[in-house]
């Protein structure tokens, strides 16, 4: 009989919010008169209305599946869902929010200019009304608290988005290949690199990687934060003043990526840079690669294909860390129905929504839903999340540090893998993009 793994998060101090009286305040500062006139309330309209919601395919799968349950509970509220691929979405979300047909609810990846230009509402009133600050551990909401400068995250300030499930990046591994090579699950970076060499010596590809979209940045980030620790890594990712990407840990991480390329651990550089993430996933489930560094959003696809052969572990490092953040939604400052939009954001922590989040490969808002058999892929993910949460090792995505950081990391890592640039150029290009967004 298989044991079951249940996710239990240690209680953390709740965020301190202003005392909020029911239906006492406006949703927040906005340039739109209609929204400004609506007071924050949990009492919803009985009129038939339609909300519009924009997301990406990767982040929106669970949200899209949740819409029907929300509409069943609120039959007078319809939600029109649309999605755009990640890169295009990040480049267009502010234009959509500022346009004449702004969506009511939007996926919020990077806050640069979105908050500064008051395109989305602060949600502290709703957090108080619905009790989000009591439900979520403080560090989960703090990821979406933005300082007055409009770009610095995680250091207090108003809340601008609500979670819709949590992602985690670690290392998938093929248990069949590991067993054939006599490899045990590594718990440190020296052990991990020993397994890479053993796989390479046996003619197996050590690390399956698709970098057409810049996912080698995950490896660089995990290596760097594993050495430096979560607090230092988050300070840069959250845009804290005077932080720099030019650290010994990040330099070592870039040097390691180059060393793995030179050792052949990543395969042919041209193939790597020409393969996108889903292509790498397809290669991995076809048995090409001992490891795949990826997020849990692909767990369903990988688990369905590999079954019991699929495993997942926290990426090894001196410090136990994982890249992860919540899928998070914000409310447009132009929304004529912010109370109803907030009700949907609150519904995202319901058991129905949490079950969809877990089924789609995300850690759910309601942690009691995260139950899986030990030894299964989901069981491995639940165990990895619990370990990282206990170590307070969750770090925001470097890719979201600025609106253009994903492009900078993609170009930089492609050049590193192609042998077209070195560590100095890579570090300088990433910090330059960061400084342009966070200067002043």
- What's the chain's length in residues? 440
**Residue 164 binned pLDDT confidence (cut-offs 50, 70, 90):** very high
385-433: pLDDT as tens digits: 999 988 989 999 999 888 889 999 999 999 999 999 999 999 999 999 9
pLDDT at 417: 98
**pLDDT of 57:** 86
Q: How confident is the model at residue 30 (pLDDT cuts 50, 70, 90)?
A: very low
Q: Is the pLDDT of residue 261 over 50?
A: yes
Average pLDDT over residues 77-87: 91
Pick the CATH number of 12-166+325-370 from 3.20.20.60, 3.40.190.10, 3.40.50.720, 3.10.20.30: 3.40.190.10
Bridge partners (DSSP) listed for residue 136 = none
Query: Which pLDDT belongs to residue 325?
Result: 84
pTM of the predicted structure, to 2 decimals: 0.83
End-to-end Cα distance, the chain: 59
- Residue 5 pLDDT: 40
> Domain-by-domain residue ranges, the chain?
12-166+325-370, 169-323+377-438
Task: Tell me which of 3.50.50.60, 2.130.10.10, 3.40.190.10, 3.40.50.2000 is the CATH number of domain 169-323+377-438.
Answer: 3.40.190.10
Task: Give the mean pLDDT of 284-313.
Answer: 96
pLDDT at position 396 is 92
Among 5-19, 68-82, 87-101, 304-318, the least confident range: 5-19
At residue 77, does pLDDT exceed 90?
Answer: yes
Segment 233-258, tens digit of pLDDT: 999 999 998 999 999 999 999 999 99
Do the two domains 12-166+325-370 and 169-323+377-438 of this chain adopt the same fold?
Answer: yes
Question: Using CA atoms, how far apart are residues 15 and 138, in angstroms rounded to an integer?
Answer: 5
Model pLDDT, residue 440: 58
Cross-strand bridge partners of residue 173: 291, 311
Closest residue by Cα to residue 30 from 107, 137, 135, 117: 117
pLDDT in tens, 362-387: 999 998 899 998 889 999 999 999 99
- Measured distance CA(183)–CA(290) in Å, rounded: 10
- Determine the pLDDT at residue 109: 85
- The percent of residues above 70 in pLDDT, for the chain, comes to 91
d(CA 128, CA 141) in angstroms, rounded, equals 13
């Amino acid at each position: 009989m298989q044991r079951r793994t249940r996710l239990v998060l240690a209680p953390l101090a709740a965020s301190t919010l202003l005392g909020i009286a029911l239906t006492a305040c406006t949703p927040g500062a906005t340039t739109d008169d209609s929204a400004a006139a609506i007071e924050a309330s949990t009492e919803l309209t009985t009129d038939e209305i339609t909300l519009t919601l924009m997301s990406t395919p990767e982040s929106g799968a669970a949200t899209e599946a949740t819409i029907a349950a929300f509409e069943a509970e609120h039959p007078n509220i319809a939600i029109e869902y649309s999605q755009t691929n990640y890169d295009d979405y990040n480049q267009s979300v502010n234009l959509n929010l500022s346009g004449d047909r702004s969506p009511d609810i939007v996926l919020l990846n990077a806050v640069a200019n979105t908050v500064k230009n008051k395109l989305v509402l602060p949600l502290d009133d709703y957090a108080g009304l619905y009790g989000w600050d009591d439900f979520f551990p403080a560090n989960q909401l703090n990821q979406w608290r933005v300082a007055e400068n409009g770009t610095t995250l995680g250091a207090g300030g108003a809340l601008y988005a609500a979670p819709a499930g949590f992602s985690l990046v670690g290392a998938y591994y093929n248990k069949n290949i590991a067993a054939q090579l006599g490899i045990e699950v590594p718990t440190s970076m020296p052990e991990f690199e020993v397994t890479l060499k053993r796989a390479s010596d046996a003619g197996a590809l050590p690390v399956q990687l698709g970098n057409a979209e810049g996912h080698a940045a995950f490896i660089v980030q995990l290596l760097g934060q594993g050495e430096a620790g979560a607090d230092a890594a988050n300070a840069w990712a959250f845009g804290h003043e005077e932080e720099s990407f030019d650290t010994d840990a990040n330099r070592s991480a870039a040097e390691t990526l180059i060393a793995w390329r030179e050792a052949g651990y990543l395969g042919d550089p041209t193939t790597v840079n020409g393969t996108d993430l889903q292509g790498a996933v397809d290669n991995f489930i076809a048995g090409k690669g001992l490891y795949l560094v990826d997020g849990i959003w692909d767990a369903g696809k990988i688990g369905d294909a590999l079954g019991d052969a699929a495993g997942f572990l926290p990426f090894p490092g001196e410090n136990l860390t994982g890249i992860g953040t919540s899928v998070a939604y914000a409310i447009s400052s132009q929304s004529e129905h912010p109370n109803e939009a907030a009700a949907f954001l609150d519904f995202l922590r319901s058991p129905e929504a949490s079950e969809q989040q877990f089924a789609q490969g995300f850690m759910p808002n309601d942690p009691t839903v995260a139950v899986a058999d030990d030894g299964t892929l989901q069981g491995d993910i639940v165990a990895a999340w619990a370990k990282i949460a206990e170590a307070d090792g969750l770090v925001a995505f470097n890719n979201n540090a600025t609106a253009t950081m994903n492009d900078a990391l993609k170009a930089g890592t492609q050049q590193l893998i192609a042998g077209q640039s070195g560590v100095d150029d890579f570090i300088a290009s990433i910090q330059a993009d960061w400084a342009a967004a966070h200067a002043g």
